[in-house]
Structure 1
Amino acid sequence: MSFLGPSGRLLLAGALVGLGVALASWVDPFGVFEVAELKALDVQFAIRGGRDPVSPIVIVTIDEDSFDELNLAWPWPRELHAQLLDRLSAARPAAIGLDLVFAEPSSRGPADDEALAQAVARAGNVVLGAALTVVKEAGFVKEDLNPPIRPIRDGAAGFGFVNFEIDADAFVRRGALTRAFQDRPLEGFDLQLYRLAQKAGVASARLPRRTPVLINFSGGPRTFAAVPYHRVVSGELPPETFAGKIVLVGATSIILHDVFPTPFAPGGNMPGVEIHANMIETLLQGTPIRRALPGIASVLAVLAGALAVWAAGTLRPLQAGVLVGAVLAGYLAISQGAFVLGRYWSDVVPVPLALAFGYLGREARNFIREQREKRRLSRFFSPAVVREIVRSQDGDDALGSARRLVTVLFSDIRGFTAMSERMPPEEVVAFLREYLTVMTDAVFKYGGTVDKYIGDAIMALYNVPFEAPDHAAQAVRTALEFQRRLGPLAEAFTAKHGGSLRCGVGINTGEAVVGTLGSAQRLEYTAIGDTINLGARLEGVTKDFGVSIIISEATYREVQDLFELRDLGEVTVKGREVPVRIYTVLGEREG
């Protein structure tokens, strides 16, 4: 994949993330995506909000007030329903729908059924409800239709099933126009009323070609005009309340348990008769919710995953987060706009998931790599420099090989090798760990970089990986700090092991090749060149002159105004034919 380049590899990785999300949404073995999309649809309804119905629909509610006023136990006498139908029919409605199932003869006798049958026949435009149940179990499917009893249905304009389509989360969002029963199509209650209203001259759109229909809910309970059952029976209402309208009669009292959860009633308090009203409104207005092609969301998920991984792998975390968030917000806004303006319900979940998995997955990988890099770099650099390298977009460039001006510091404990041969190995290791920790803190304190440890020797670099104008002075301050910190360590060492500890430091300033150098198997951040070699030689010269710190003339020129220095003259060091002038540091000047 090297031919793709860094950006190409990021885009490919992200596309694979998006493809994985898309495939998971297609397979969806546990129905998680289906339920998530249904809930997303509910949110889109909630954002859109309710709206006033357009179709001439009025509901006669079998409610608590009617139970109180009529003072009758359920089921009510069918003769009472007959009185209701006569009242309604006198107002000349376009259609009447009884969202009630009269599948059994009345317990009050044949006369009760006959009264309702005659009222249904007199009205001539009544649609009755039927119960269609389908039981699916392993190996068989059982269908059962409970239509109105024949005396009542013979005079009706028709009857249809009142059952709703129940989604995976037990919500009602769809209504079927027809269902197959015993290999024949059976029309639904809502379709029968649509046909009857259309025949009566109610304005209507063409029927949807697909069933079940996604109901375009106008709102929650009590969105449609409604009047209590008892007020209709008593004749209180004027005829124009029902004239030319589609009248639905059904239960709204919670004691009759004909309520369901819907997008606008997630608590499960939407009466079935009001769901029928929403379904009929959807059919008459020709406004069913349209399912967008799921393949569109899959393609967008692939693109979203590619964008998220590319952003997280290329941009700073905040920039990537803002970009991914903006894309997510834009996608959701477009989806909502398509829902409100075009009634399109698109798969909302795959794109946000692809964005989230792509962005968070890549950021997690970045974090793990960053922590690993911090641990590696902390061997060389102070915590502040490590943070800067990791945070910097140019961090790799900062550690790349280049020729630059540096100050190098070498330190060594004089005579420690000989003393360590008389000490137990574990004590040698313990002392060196303590000593190197203390001295490394001093290097980091003054912005230095620990290049390497060689036994008890330390090599430190200054002015790398980032520029520091006072790098030479910081190296000298480190050397003075070494002497101060060595005191307590030397006292403890002498008390325990005898002998005395002294630290020699050599410092040089000049150009060197600095960067990550080494073999394919092992790389180290280091510096090479004559400047480095001279710094090492100067450390070895300290014992010849009986001083703790020696700096080169190049370093002297950088720090002569900041420190008290003494000229030690010229010295010829190994590897150089020309003598070099050296100085020792007495201390830092005050002020």
Structure 2
Amino acid sequence: MAALFGCLLGLLVSHRVTGPARPEDTPAPLLSPSGFIDGLTSWLDGGERVFYDWRIRQLGEVSERSDRVVLVSIDDDTLAEAQQGPRAEIAAYPWPRQVMGGMVHRLVEEGASVVMLDFTYPELSPRACVTPTRSGRGALSQDDDALRALLDQDPGHSVLAFRWGAEGTRTLPPTGRLWPYRVRLGSYPNITEARTRAQSVLALQRPAFLIPAGKALEVWAGVADEGEGRGLGEQMGTAAASIQERRAADDAFRVAPADLFLALASVQVQGLDPEKLLEVRQLQHPVTPLLSQASGYGATTLPADPDGVVRGVPHLVAYSPRGGERYVLPSLPLAAAMRLAGTQKLRYADGRLFIGDTYSVPMDAAGYSLLRWEAASATRGARGPLARSIRAWNVLLNLFDSQEARPVRFDHDLEGRAVILTNTSSYAPERRVTPIGPGIANGAVLGQALANILASNGITRAPPKVDMLATMGLAFIGAFLALSFSWLLRSVGGAFLFVCVAVAAGAGYVGAAGYVFVHEQVWIAVAGPLWSGGLAFLVTTLYAFRTEQDVREFVHSALGRYVSPDVARLVARDVSLMKPERRQMTVYLCDIEGFTRLSQALPPEQLVPLLNTFLTEMTAVVRATAGQVDKYIGDSVMAFWGAPVRTDRHAHLACEAALKLHAALAQKQPLWEKQFGHRLSVRAGIDTGDLLVGDMGSELKSNYTVMGDAVGMAGRLEAANKQYGTQVLVGHATAQLASDAYVFREVDRVLLADRPQPVRVHELLGRRGEFSPEKQAGIALYEKALTAYYGRDFIVAQELFRRCGVEHGDPVARVYVERCQRLIQTPPPEDWDGVIRWGRRSTDAR
């Protein structure tokens, strides 16, 4: 049951979604099988996220905040200072984009290796430019041109933001008004120059066309009439421009702003299947005047998990504007890392995204990376998990100082560091809830993602099969603990310890998973395995408790049926007989030879009647010899003589019972073979010693039973029959007490681990006076061979033992033939006494 339960939960745990849910993942109805599985999986994922957040905070406790990424924050204090300051252009927010470009340029001058702008500019600037950049263009585009011009002063040092949406319908390029004419604005030898020219057309809110002309590309712009075409040609610096009527076929060569953006922002990733990436349906990219190869472009969208917590960043997404070619777009941190590495080469292998040969970060095949938060909790202020943040007002003051040729006021120590310029004021978008706390700015999350890339670290999710094996393993452990410690449930204190065992096992697993997470940054499932282990523990506990009740009822029932009438009468007269006392007694233990094989061969409806018949015969023999059946252990029977009715002939009675049982079995063999198709062979062990006897047990269960060394020795003797090929082995004390009526022969001298002195083992051969001359001759020959053996005359002993085996079919003699052969080949030391250690090979002499 534990195996089945663990497998089912393991499959659910392995069927997981690492990142946020996709829009196309429509939930099934809850009452359907798939809906139930989805609901259970979602419930397990919710619990797993709780343990994940706890481990993230533990990792943050031992991590050091990164100083490689610095946050420049437009906070409320900055806006207040700007509003009260003398510069009117920044008194109202949002500021002109030229000011933002000046801040970027200033940060690069102060040593920033790359500056990320956490601002999307999907529309033309609504503000006038502070300082006009050129004439002939509308004021609405001059502010964007100014920003672009400032960014172009530091090529490769800026990354602009765009946003995407994964829900809703796909955004198509706008068709706009009809343009019946087109004007030719130039021919260019390569696509880069042609796109640059087309970008200037698009900035004027006109359609652009890239039409092949041999090996060159011609750039055309749509116009309303020929006069507008000539005016546009002059404005764009093309005199006597060719003007033609627009054809329907031109639409195939039309270039939309999104096309230019995709050409600049998309990346190629070796080893990654774009079909597995999250497909976005809507884009908000920078307005056309801001597009340039001098800047990188990355997404700032941070989707949250179903519980509203941001735990990672989708570094790569796919976009197909017309449902055709897929473009792979990077996140803002990834685009910044590509700029820092000076490469456009991305490679995905073994669960990691490699940025050139410089950086790498763990990422799944869907483009999603879990963040390694380098703080246990978010500090008050804008920096979040980062080591430093700078007020944008300080950067502005440095910018104004440099523009006015004054010494700058602040040393920001930005040399070689990446900077993210973000808004953390009251005007900022909604702040993010993260594993380390709520209220973290979007830019701080992106900064942490870049810090992970620059350090080439992150969180790696363990393979699904590891989580599945952990779930199944904990189910087995839970079941094993419940079975192993169910005996503790017999008392209130024991029940408390029983629960503590389960809690300790669960805590141990959580601790191990936490250790792997903190030291190896590997996320192994916790919630699923804990539920699997806990429920398996509970179910197995209920099963064990019920089984113990059934066994107790069966034992009480069996004791009532098979208890000796003598015991019943004596106990009725004197209950004190059930009290424990120590006396010399003889213990008998037997089992059916080859019962495991027999139980596999017979169906239950035949095996149970056969076993019941054997136990009935055994019980009858024991009661007939004044013995007591102590217990049945599967196919084994344990009996004793000498209590509660005292007798000095307990050893005789045990030997008599052994012989009678073999006689009864021999008589029943033809019937059993006919009825069940099998014959039974029994092996037995008998030993005598001082035993504790009486009514022993708990309040819930007690038996009239015996305890002592002789019980264990009887079990060892019974098991040793298989080694010697004998039927009944007895201890030395039993052989001495019953030697006047029964014939024994010495089989071996053994040393037990729990006894300081060697013990002689004997075989019960039969009653005195019942041996044929041939049998007596075989016994005499064996005794002669044994004497030669202990006299170290191994050659003579081997020959005599060989004769015993050949002439009398003696299995014990065959054992000694092999033993003599080894001793002849390797003579023993001078102090050899023939004693062997049980549990090792028979030649392992002391």
TM-score range, shorter chain: 0.5 to 0.7
Identify the residue that residue 133 of structure 1 maps to in structure 2: 165
CA contact (8 A) 1:103 1:146 kept: yes
Offset, 1:513:
7.5
CA contact (8 A) 2:297 2:335 kept: yes
Corresponding letter in the other structure for 1:128: L
Identify the residue that residue 252 of structure 1 maps to in structure 2: 424
Q: Please, which of 456, 476, 482 is the counterpart of residue 306 of structure 1? A: 476
Q: SS in structure 2 opposite 1:287?
A: coil
Distance 1:400 1:234 in 2: 101
Q: SS in structure 2 opposite 1:104?
A: coil
Would you say 1:350 and 2:528 are equivalent positions? yes
Distance 2:630 2:560 in 1: 5
Distance 1:228 1:395 in 2: 83
Identify the residue that residue 503 of structure 2 maps to in structure 1: 325
Offset, 1:367:
5.3
1:252-401 map, 5 Å: 252-265=424-437, 268-315=438-485, 316=487, 317=489, 318=494, 320-366=498-544
Q: Please, which of 100, 110, 114 is the counterpart of residue 95 of structure 1? A: 114
Offset, 1:512:
11
CA contact (8 A) 1:120 1:152 kept: no
Identify the residue that residue 24 of structure 1 maps to in structure 2: 12
Corresponding letter in the other structure for 2:385: T
Identify the residue that residue 198 of structure 1 maps to in structure 2: 341
Would you say 1:143 and 2:281 are equivalent positions? yes
CA contact (8 A) 2:113 2:415 kept: yes
Distance 1:227 1:57 in 2: 11
Identify the residue that residue 68 of structure 1 maps to in structure 2: 80
Q: SS in structure 1 opposite 2:467?
A: helix
Change in Cα spacing, 1:304 to 1:258, as seen in structure 2 (3 Å) is same
Corresponding letter in the other structure for 1:197: L
Identify the residue that residue 217 of structure 1 maps to in structure 2: 373
Q: Deviations over 1:528-578 (max 9, x none)?
A: x99xxxxxxxxxxxxxxxxxxxxxxxxxxxxxxxxxxxxxxxxxxxxxxxx
Distance 1:396 1:255 in 2: 81
Would you say 1:118 and 2:168 are equivalent positions? no
CA contact (8 A) 1:401 1:515 kept: no
Q: Which runs of 5+ in 2 are unaligned?
A: 16-36, 84-90, 129-139, 173-278, 321-325, 344-354, 379-383, 399-407, 582-625, 633-643, 646-846
Corresponding letter in the other structure for 1:217: W
Offset, 1:282:
0.9
Q: Deviations over 1:471-498 (max 9, x none)?
A: xxxxxxxxxxxxxxxxxxxxxxxxxxxx
Identify the residue that residue 50 of structure 2 maps to in structure 1: 39
Q: Which runs of 5+ in 1 are unaligned?
A: 1-12, 378-393, 410-447, 449-459, 470-510, 518-528, 531-591
Change in Cα spacing, 1:77 to 1:400, as seen in structure 2 (3 Å) is farther
TM-score (structure 1 length as normaliser): 0.59
Distance 2:337 2:566 in 1: 88
Corresponding letter in the other structure for 1:223: P
Corresponding letter in the other structure for 1:94: S
Offset, 1:129:
0.3
Q: Deviations over 1:158-199 (max 9, x none)?
A: 111111243232221222222111111112211110012223
Q: SS in structure 2 opposite 1:206?
A: strand
Corresponding letter in the other structure for 1:303: G
Would you say 1:58 and 2:236 are equivalent positions? no
1:437-586 map, 5 Å: 463=575, 467=579
Offset, 1:337:
1.4
Distance 2:528 2:162 in 1: 40
Would you say 1:170 and 2:326 are equivalent positions? no
CA contact (8 A) 1:59 1:247 kept: yes
Offset, 1:90:
2.0
Q: Please, which of 83, 86, 91 is the counterpart of residue 105 of structure 2? A: 86
Distance 1:462 1:67 in 2: 100
Q: Deviations over 1:224-268 (max 9, x none)?
A: 210111111012653552222101101223542241111112xx3
TM-score (structure 2 length as normaliser): 0.42
Q: Out of 394-403 and 24-33, give the one that drifted further.
A: 394-403
Q: Please, which of 290, 301, 304 is the counterpart of residue 152 of structure 1? A: 290
Distance 1:333 1:308 in 2: 16
Offset, 1:131:
1.0
Corresponding letter in the other structure for 1:135: E
Distance 1:461 1:137 in 2: 94
Change in Cα spacing, 1:329 to 1:237, as seen in structure 2 (3 Å) is farther
Corresponding letter in the other structure for 2:97: R
Offset, 1:407:
7.7
CA contact (8 A) 1:14 1:310 kept: no
CA contact (8 A) 2:112 2:419 kept: yes
CA contact (8 A) 1:398 1:465 kept: no
CA contact (8 A) 1:79 1:116 kept: yes
Identify the residue that residue 396 of structure 2 maps to in structure 1: 233
Offset, 1:324:
3.1
Q: Deviations over 1:135-160 (max 9, x none)?
A: 1589x987111111122233741111
Distance 2:516 2:628 in 1: 61
CA contact (8 A) 1:16 1:305 kept: no
Offset, 1:397:
10
Change in Cα spacing, 1:407 to 1:205, as seen in structure 2 (3 Å) is same
Offset, 1:356:
0.6
Change in Cα spacing, 1:20 to 1:463, as seen in structure 2 (3 Å) is farther
Corresponding letter in the other structure for 1:99: D
Q: SS in structure 2 opposite 1:223?
A: coil
Q: SS in structure 1 opposite 2:440?
A: strand
Identify the residue that residue 457 of structure 1 maps to in structure 2: none
